[in-house]
Amino acid sequence: MRRVVIGMDPHKRSATIEAINEREKVLAQGRFGTDTEGYQQMLAAGRAFSDRVWAVEGCSGIGRHIAQRLVADGEPVLDVPPKLSARVRVFDT
């Protein structure tokens, strides 16, 4: 399997993810709680892909808590600035 990017939109009590391949085909998506059980389910969903990277919106802000948990679990994490995400949302509508 090729590289998969797992994009994440974190919130205080939930995180929405979408996994895409290099052709931008959606492979998986879901909304998970940020409690221990929800986090474990989200991590398992992401680990279904061997060559993955997590792209978390706002690692220095609202996404910090979940990005730190991913890094502590040995996951590769990239910070996506909120301004970049806002631009994508405008073009998506």
**DSSP one-letter code for 34:** S
Query: Has residue 31 got a pLDDT over 70?
Result: yes
Other residues' Cβ atoms within 10 Å of the Cβ of residue 35: 11
Query: Is pLDDT larger for residue 28 or for residue 87?
Result: 28
- Greatest CA separation found in the chain? 35
* Kind of pairing between the strands at 26-33 and 14-20: antiparallel
Structural domain 4-92, CATH architecture: 2-Layer Sandwich (3.30)
Q: What is the pTM of this model?
A: 0.85
Q: Judge whether residue 85 has pLDDT over 80.
A: no
